Structure 1
Amino acid sequence: MSLAVTLPAPPGPYLDSGLLPGDFYSYQDLLSAPEREVVGRLRDFLRTEVAPIVNDHWARAEFPFQLFEGFAKLELLTWADPQSAEPKPSNLLQGIMALELAHADPSIATGFGVHSGLAMGSILACADEEQQRRWLPAMSRWEQIGAFGLTEPHGGSDVAGGLETTARRDGDEWVLNGAKRWIGNATFADLVVVWARDVDTNHVLGFVVEGGTPGYSATKIEDKDALRIVQNADIVLEDCRVPEANRLQHANSFKDTARVLRSTRSGVAWSAVGVMLAAYEIALQYAKEREQFGRPIGQFQLVQDLLVKMLGNATASLGMMVRLAQLQDAGVYKDEHSALAKAYTTVRMRENVGWARELLGGNGIVLDYNIARFVADAEAIYSYEGTREINTLIVGRAVTGLGAFV
């Protein structure tokens, strides 16, 4: 008598359909035909190159550096090269690309976003034309990788007023001293945007520190249980000398830093929707294949209730993000718009991954069944780029006219 146990194949975040099953109201139809082609190429790459390897790299907490070559071939960032005549993608297209990346894996999405959104975004927003010509071409081709150093060991939500890293002018150079923490990509980055407080003016300035600069060191943070593929680092700056030519010429206060964060915060909200859709898709596939009491569990009312609640969360969040992208494209969106999106979608994301884990039962805690990775990674997305509490206070100030920050 055989004692072998037959289980359904581990579900992944992709079904046979070419579209996201969770896009229940077909929001992707708002993209133009060329934009849909870009999304399709990215989705195919993520399906074939990322999905098969991601659990192994997550378990080993190692980054799959071979993906950089693939990202370069997709030419998703070539528009940022000042010499390119290619138009900047719409915010809707950029948002759905962020969704697709997180739908495949939140760590890969984070690494991509740190490079393209935080690092390149800082240079696009705060560098002069000469600096953009110097750095952006290689970054757009993934030949030089960027990182973004703002958060500090003693400063997270209060970093705007409590930045401890200092910058002191010394002739044609700046001397940086301080420390940064949780800096993604920093262990291997070629260019790190570091924010520091000018000791003479007390203004927050931005600098591009090149990898290998004396006085700069980055040490990988070990033993994380979320976003394990992301190579977060502790950065130490000890009399690190940076030329004036590497000071971002249009970054003169924390308001300039906030301009970058306003855009990337919406990107994190898009990532949360991607995680929601992945959790829903994994749960849906499992519910169709897993049998109990002689029939698929998807035929039970309580399982369908979980699936519909997950679909509702994803649909509502996706609708919010589409409208936010439209406000961005119209140039009328505000900090509170991004803040509400980040606060709302990450709460719904937490619900979805929890319900998906519940639906998979014991298999939900096994890495091979994929949802465990999303459950763990969702906790990091919930916290970074502004906690729910901080984003709530930003929205609360906007609607009441009264600031409740300490």
Structure 2
Amino acid sequence: MTFEPLASDFFSYESLLTDREKEALAALRGWLERDVKPIVNDHWDRGEFPMQIVKPLAELGALSYAWDETKPFKNSAVFRGFVALELARVDASVATFAGVQNGLATGSIAIAGSTEQRAEWIPRLASGEVIGAFGLTEPLSGSDSARGLRTTARREGDEWVLNGAKRWIGNATFSDITIIWAKDEADGQVKGFIVPTSTPGYTATKIERKISLRAVQNADITLEHVVVPESLRLQNANSFRDTAAVLRQTRAEVAWSAVGTSIGAYEAAVAYAKRREQFGKPIGAHQLIQDLLVKCLGNITASLGMVVRVSEMLDRGEQRDEHSALTKAYTTARMRETVAWAREAVGGNGIVLDYDVARFFADAEALYSYEGTREMNTLIVGRAITGEAAFV
């Protein structure tokens, strides 16, 4: 399929991609436009995830672009970012599914698993044979997960017994495994476990009545004397620092998804502005509508520059926590502005799913908060600036 640059990539950042990467992105874009975009509003409205897209996503490589069994990254971080952008540009719920599967679940095993664990699980997750989830956030522990984790792990011989609860866990109603992070009762350190969801004592209950990312199947998880063997403990996860290493990789991709969500809303608003007529001409011919669209494009362009640069730093081994934190905080804040301006440009129809903007507008609220709120990311950057931690 021929690669056509996005008009919303105003400064042509896609030109940084190789021809092979452009070809892969074009194939993904074509499939998303043809097979996914027509169905997402209906699934969002019903609060259901379109499971039929998992196999094609895997076949297109979208679940395996990051990791393989023998090296940390198969493709450049810039390319992986454009994949996240492309998914979110069509639907943020689809991007979130892939981010959990490819970034958080597979990433936990890739970063903190043993050679044997990587060989067993990464190919199965990449193919979509196994669906993964990532269990860190708890009902009483979100931003303070580093110290406030309440889920416990107790070793008994060659087994571990897990007890506790998790909340807001994406993919968890249909996942085959969930990466559970728990505090070791013996040393107080956070450790990770690959928990098959069929294990006795493990239950996942869908969170209902959401106004954002409705197609994502978030769940409350309870763990009651869940027994897992030592072979399913992530062998290189020995403290929260190892958990944070996973989040460091994925936080930047959330920023890419924020840019994609902005672009999706902006493109829907542009299309509407060209066809909707008021006062005898398309509303896109009116100055105030053009002003809204230009402000959207300015936010998108600035945010693209930031995510591209932070991904280049990741490829070079130069990215630090404060870099991904600033990127996530900035791009999601600009996304919030952008989707609001896009909704404004579409007027009353901007609150109706049929015009797409409403979905992006609502979904932006979840992206703004998950994988580190703006406030927590601000404190990470503030610590880097001043040398003083102001978390409590």
TM-score, normalized by length of structure 1? 0.94
CA contact (8 A) 1:102 1:108 kept: yes
Matched, 1:66 2:59: no
Report the counterpart of residue 233 of structure 1 in structure 2: 219
Contact 1:20 1:277 in 2 (8 A): no
Unaligned runs of 5+ in 1: 1-16
Aligned to 1:13: none
Output the CA distance in 1 between the equivalents of 2:44 and 2:317: 38
Tell me how far 1:82 sits from its aligned partner: 2.1
Aligned-partner residue type, residue 182 of structure 1: W
SS in 1 for 2:11: coil
Amino acid at match of 1:336: E
After TM superposition, the structure 1 = structure 2 runs for residues 5-404 of structure 1, keeping only pairs within 5 Å, are 18-78=4-64, 80-82=67-69, 88-404=74-390
- Give the C-alpha shift of residue 149 in structure 1: 0.1
The residue type paired with residue 210 of structure 1 is P
Q: Which residue in the other structure is 1:6 paired with?
A: none
Percent identity of paired positions between Structure 1 and Structure 2: 61
- Higher RCO (CA 8 Å, separation ≥ 6 residues): 1
Cα drift, residue 78 of structure 1:
4.4
Q: CA RMSD in A?
A: 1.5
Quick one: distance in 1 between partners of 2:360 and 2:68? 34
SS in 1 for 2:167: strand
The Cα shift of 1:145 comes to: 0.6
Q: C-alpha deviations, 1:164-196, integer Å up to 9, x for none?
A: 000000011000000000000011111110000
Q: 1:230 to 1:78 in 2, by over 3 A?
A: closer
Q: How many angstroms does 1:45 deviate by?
A: 1.1
Answer yes or no: is the 8 Å Cα contact 2:63–2:101 preserved in 1. no
Quick check: 1:78–1:86 contact (8 Å CA) kept in 2?
no
Q: TM-score, length-normalised on structure 2? A: 0.97
Give the SS at the match of 1:217.
Answer: strand
Secondary structure of 2:51's counterpart equals coil
Residue-by-residue CA offset, 1:197-254 (whole Å, 9 max, x unaligned): 0001000000000121011010011111100000000000000000000000000000
Distance 1:358 1:368 in 2: 15
Contact 2:137 2:168 (C-alpha < 8 Å) held by counterparts = yes
8 A Cα contact 1:287 1:296, kept in partner? yes
Distance (whole Å) between structure 2 residues aligned to residue 128 and residue 364 of structure 1: 49
Deviation at 1:86?
A: 11
Q: Is the 8 A contact 1:55 1:370 kept in 2?
A: yes
Matched residues in 1 for 2:45 and 2:291: separation? 32
Change in 2 beyond 3 A, CA 1:87/1:251? closer
* DSSP 3-state at the match of 2:250: helix
Structure 1 stretches of 4+ moved >6 Å = none
Letter of the 1:246 counterpart: L
Aligned-partner SS, 1:66: helix
CA distance in 1 between counterparts of 2:187 and 2:169 reads 26
Instruction: Report the Cα distance in structure 2 between the residues aligned to 1:186 and 1:335, rounded to whole angstroms.
Output: 27
1:76, distance to aligned residue in structure 2 (A) = 3.5
1:52 counterpart SS class: helix
Structure showing greater radius of gyration is: 1
Amino acid at match of 1:109: A
Q: CA deviation at 1:87?
A: 6.7
| More displaced stretch, 285-294 vs 241-250 | 285-294
Give the partner amino acid of 1:283: A
